[in-house]
Structure formats: structure tokens, C-alpha cells
Amino acid sequence: MTNQIYSVAIDGPAGAGKSTIARQAAKALGFVYVDTGAIYRTIAYAAILSKVDVKDAQMVEALLPQVQITMDWLDGVQQMYLAQENVTGEIRTSEVSSTASIVAAIPAVRQFLLDMQRDVARKRSVIMDGRDIGTVVLPDAAVKIYLFASVEVRAKRRWLEMQHVPFETVLMDVAARDERDMNREIAPLKPAQDAVMLDTSKLDLQQSIDAVVEIIRKKIAL
Ligand code: DC
């Protein structure tokens, strides 16, 4: 048993299964799972509550000093708080999803969240998932994994979780988010040069978790 602190970065597009896979892998390894998308979602939710037009970057930037975000873990499940109020459930709507990908393209928002994310990884071993963890947030992470799957497979997985939404709508939504996340000027979604690429298109959930745990164990000999 060592007291060494390790960071694992998992990046990839929406719907590649990152959060479920990262959460289960963290459980298997005794690491804390950090979902950074939830932090962007909380900012988006704050903007929606304040009726800020998120297309106006200056308005969003002006809102930031008033946004009080904290997080903690309840039975290993990350909880998000906005001004002391638990908003873990509220940030999962599709309105918050698309708003999050808009606010995430604003440089001031990314800067605002950078220290918060790095701070968590300084104190404990983490598996952190997001879009720019291996490239920007934790460039020295011991392990970097880029999880991906075809856009159709990702949309299908999302669609199966939803009810009464036409598949075409979900497909367009996932494609639009990819477009925004990959083509923004700041910290676009892309694999780090030293990331292990893992295509989950043909893997089921358990196979994906096993593959991730194996990649991590190989790299840091746990
Ligand atoms: O992973 P998610 O769907 O909860 O993320 C919500 C949005 O936040 C997503 O469209 C991209 C953005 N995001 C980001 O830009 N950087 C991160 N590290 C995590 C999420």
C-alpha cells in the first residue's frame, strides 16, 4: 500500500459512456470519480436560473463572480451544489446539456473552473472525466484514456435511456454537441498525444469497464 496520489484522465465525446465507465472503474480501484461535465452543467444551470443569454459571453462572464459552486461525494456519488443547494438532479436535463456545451466554449468559464478541478486531483487519487482533462486540466496525469464510439452508437445509447424522444432528434443533438465541443477555439475535445484510444462501439458496459481498469492497472501497476 503506497500513499502515492495518481490521476487518471478520461476524455471523449458525449455519450461514449465515460461517466458510467469512469465511475465503475474508480470504484474498482478505490479512486474518487470526478465528473467535470457536472461542473459545467452547474454553471449552465446558474445561467438559466439567472436568465442570462448564454450566447452573450460577456454576460456569462459577469455572472461568474456570483456563482458559488461546491461539490462533495455521498456514497461515492458526486453531488453538485449551487449556493449550498443540491442541484445534482436538476443539471441532467437536455436544456442544461446544450446550455453547458455553449458556456463551456467561453474562455472565462474554463479558466474559472480550472483551479477547482486541479484542486480535487491534488488531494486524492482520481479518475476525472471530461473533454480536456488529459490535454489541459491534468497534462501530467499518470494515465490518459480517450473513450469514443461512433455517433450512431452514442446516440442510440442516449435514445434508449430516454422516452418519447425520436431517435433522429437525439442523433442531431449528439452531433451538434460533438461539433461544438470539437471545434471550439479553447480546449477543444481531442485526444492527448499520449492517450490510450479505446473504441467502445462494439463493447458492452462491463467489457468497457474491464478494458479501462486493465489499461490503468498496466500503466500504474496497482
Ligand atoms: O460530459 P457532459 O455531457 O456532462 O458535459 C457537459 C458539457 O460540458 C459538454 O457539452 C462539454 C462540456 N465539458 C467541457 O467542455 N469540458 C469538460 N472537461 C467537461 C465538459
In b/e form, how buried is each residue of 75-84, taking b as 16+ CB within 10 angstroms?
A: eeebebebee
CA of residue 116 to ligand 1 center, whole Å: 15
Listed residue (130, 144, 135, 153) closest to 200, CA to CA: 153
Q: Which residues line ligand 1 (CB under 6 A)?
A: 14, 36-37, 40-41, 97, 100-101, 104, 130-133, 177, 181
Nearest Cα residue to atom 11 of ligand 1:
101
Q: In the block, which residue shows the cell 467561453?
A: 106
Cell numbers that stand for 144 in this block: 490518459
Q: Backbone phi, then psi, for 107, in 5-degree steps?
A: -55, -40
Mean pLDDT by 10 residues, the chain (222 residues): 85 90 95 96 98 97 96 92 97 93 94 94 95 96 97 92 89 91 90 96 95 96 74
CA–CA distance, 117 with 144 (Å, rounded to integer): 16
Q: How far is the CA of 182 from the centre of ligand 1 (A)?
A: 11
**Residue 5 · residue 12 · CB < 8 Å:** no
- For the whole model, what pTM was predicted? 0.91
- Taking alpha carbons only, the member of 78, 94, 79 closest to residue 45 is 94
Closest of 3, 22, 5, 4 to residue 198, by C-alpha: 22
Pocket test for ligand 1, best of 43, 117, 131 (most atoms within 8 A of CB): 131
pLDDT, tens digit, 9 for 90 and up, residues 153-179: 999 988 998 878 999 999 999 999 899
d(CA 91, ligand 1 centre) in Å: 12
